[in-house]
């Protein structure tokens, strides 16, 4: 990951009452992709985050519709509670309304929640379809008194460029900090899996030397320390716990906090509870790690005593429920009993080494030739895809640009299969691999 001084991946939640076009807007904003990079398989819900990029950096959009209950009409109380979470967690907030309807009472209640931070709120007046004047159609919504207003039509791809410009105009210029020595390890997981206890146990581990270097950001605690003369940074969102009113609010807060901790980490520790089982929220958080190509280990925490039979059952359960995270080693830990702490550091070191591995051109070429002879695509639609050449273009994560005929025919299953073959061929069994597959590689192909 580059440490160039660009805007960090600030969070931009999309909020509003139901049926105003939040998800359509989200999909329009993130749809520009120049190469196949694959999507996360195995998740039970729609994707809720995506990125948009400009010359000024990258922002992460959050589709809050993905947090709403399965029934079609979440209550006004649920939506207003959700707004409170997004006010706390989002740097720029997109408030979407429907230009084809009058201002509703719920719209006005949402504005009350947003007004204290209105300098970072964009009122998006959606559904101003072609043939209707943008400003005239949006005129009634100026009554809400928000200073940043962008009328558009997400469905018809109308005026989206102005919205993107406004997002980056308002995105805070939080530049990358000076480079720190040592690997960054983030503790992630849903509430009550023992993150804080493990965090404190690690920092109290008898071989840990905690640095006096200040490291607490706005919302992620970052503590520098060393183990056996190796430098690490441990990151957690322990500083922003708050009591949530409803279960869904707990989940969305956990997702937003996970996004923040993933921004600057090298290796993520996805923590699970030994006394529970993998659920949809665990799958979602795992998907965020996969989408961001972070190194990962899975910590089954609260394993206070060794239990080989149940540990085997847990490994089988994880292989089934988190099958898209097969490269992540599974460890059993207990923050309370300080069990398995040394394994965390040894495993993180091994993952980090593979994440930063560079391959000689000749080594990569020979491995690729062997792979081409052995590969058979799982999907029938991909039988005409022919791989031509490969080039490594980055590390952390290891990123390859590949040239191929008909790359658009590749499915998520094909990409998963290709990554597995590359991991086996190059001995990258602990690291994610990022693939950019195009019809023709440039002379200086970049990520």
Q: Is 327 found in the same domain as 374?
A: no
Count how many domains the chain has.
3
Q: Is 268 helix (H, G, I), strand (E, B) or coil?
A: strand
What count of other Cβ atoms lies within 10 Å of the Cβ of residue 138? Answer: 21
What count of other Cβ atoms lies within 10 Å of the Cβ of residue 73? Answer: 11
* Boundaries of domain holding 399: 361-438
Within 8 A by CB and 6+ apart from 311, the residues are 300, 303, 332
pTM of this prediction?
A: 0.70
Q: Is 215 found in the same domain as 98?
A: no
pLDDT digits (tens, 9 = 90+) for 386-445: 999 999 999 999 999 999 999 989 998 899 899 999 999 999 999 999 999 988 876 554
Q: Report the sign of the C-alpha dihedral through residues 398, 401, 405, 409, in that order.
A: positive
Q: What is the CATH number of the domain that holds 26?
A: 3.40.50.300
The pLDDT of residue 247 is: 54
The pLDDT of residue 291 is: 87
Within 8 A by CB and 6+ apart from 381, the residues are 409, 411
The pLDDT of residue 254 is: 65
Q: Let me know if residue 1 belongs to a domain.
A: no
Q: Is 327 found in the same domain as 393?
A: no
The pLDDT of residue 100 is: 92
Within 8 A by CB and 6+ apart from 174, the residues are 7, 8, 10
Q: Let me know if residue 34 belongs to a domain.
A: yes
Q: Let me know if residue 102 belongs to a domain.
A: yes
| DSSP code per residue over 95-110 | EEEETTSPPPHHHHHH
Q: Let me know if residue 175 belongs to a domain.
A: no
pLDDT beneath 70: ranges in the chain? 1-9, 32-47, 65-74, 173-181, 205-220, 237-254, 442-447
Is 197 exposed, middle or buried, given 0-12, 13-18 or 19+ CB atoms closer than 10 A? middle
Residue 224 φ/ψ, nearest 5 degrees: -90, 140
Q: What is the CATH number of the domain that holds 413?
A: 3.30.300.20
Residue 405 φ/ψ, nearest 5 degrees: -80, 135
Q: Is 259 found in the same domain as 201?
A: yes
Q: Is 374 found in the same domain as 234?
A: no
- Compute the distance between CA of residue 184 and CA of residue 57 in angstroms, rounded to an integer: 21
Number of H helices, E strands in the chain: 12, 16
């Amino acid at each position: 990951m580059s440490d160039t001084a660009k805007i960090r991946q600030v969070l931009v939640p999309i909020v509003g009452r139901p049926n105003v076009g939040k998800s359509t807007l989200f999909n329009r904003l993130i749809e520009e992709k120049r190469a196949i990079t694959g999507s996360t398989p195995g998740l039970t819900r729609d994707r809720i985050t995506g990125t948009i990029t400009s010359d000024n950096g990258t922002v992460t959009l959050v589709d809050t519709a993905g947090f709403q209950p399965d029934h079609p009409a979440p209550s006004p109380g649920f939506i207003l509670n959700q707004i409170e979470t997004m006010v706390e967690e989002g740097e720029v907030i997109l408030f979407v309304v429907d230009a084809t309807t009058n201002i509703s009472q719920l719209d006005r209640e949402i504005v009350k929640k947003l007004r204290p931070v209105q300098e970072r709120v964009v009122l998006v007046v959606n559904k101003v379809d072609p043939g209707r004047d943008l400003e005239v159609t949006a005129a009634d919504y100026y009554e809400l008194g928000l200073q940043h207003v962008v009328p558009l039509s997400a469905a018809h791809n109308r005026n989206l460029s102005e919205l993107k410009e406004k997002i980056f105009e308002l995105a805070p210029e939080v530049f990358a900090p000076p480079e720190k020595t040592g690997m960054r390890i983030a503790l992630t997981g849903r509430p009550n899996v023992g993150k804080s206890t493990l965090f404190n146990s690690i920092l109290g581990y008898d071989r840990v030397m905690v640095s006096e270097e200040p490291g607490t950001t706005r919302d992620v605690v970052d503590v520098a320390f060393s183990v056996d003369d190796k430098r690490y940074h441990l990151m957690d969102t322990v500083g922003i716990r708050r009591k949530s009113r409803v279960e869904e609010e707990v989940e969305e807060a956990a997702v937003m906090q996970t996004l923040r901790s993933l921004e600057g980490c090298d290796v993520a520790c996805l923590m699970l509870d030994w006394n529970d089982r993998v659920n949809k929220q665990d799958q979602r958080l795992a998907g965020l790690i996969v989408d961001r190509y972070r190194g990962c280990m899975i910590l089954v925490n609260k394993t206070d005593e060794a239990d080989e039979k149940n540990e085997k059952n847990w490994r089988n359960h994880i292989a089934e429920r988190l099958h898209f995270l097969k490269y992540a080693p599974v460890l059993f830990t207990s923050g309370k009993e300080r069990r398995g702490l040394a394994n965390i550091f040894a495993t993180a070191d091994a993952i980090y080494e593979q994440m930063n591995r560079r391959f000689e051109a000749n080594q990569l070429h020979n491995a690729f030739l062997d792979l081409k002879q052995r590969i058979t695509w799982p999907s029938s639609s991909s039988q005409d895809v022919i791989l031509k050449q490969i080039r490594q273009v980055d590390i952390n994560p290891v990123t390859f640009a590949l040239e191929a005929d008909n790359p658009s025919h590749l499915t998520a299953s094909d990409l998963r299969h290709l990554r597995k073959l590359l991991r086996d061929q190059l001995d990258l069994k602990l690291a994610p691999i990022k693939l950019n597959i195009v019809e023709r590689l440039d002379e200086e192909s970049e990520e």
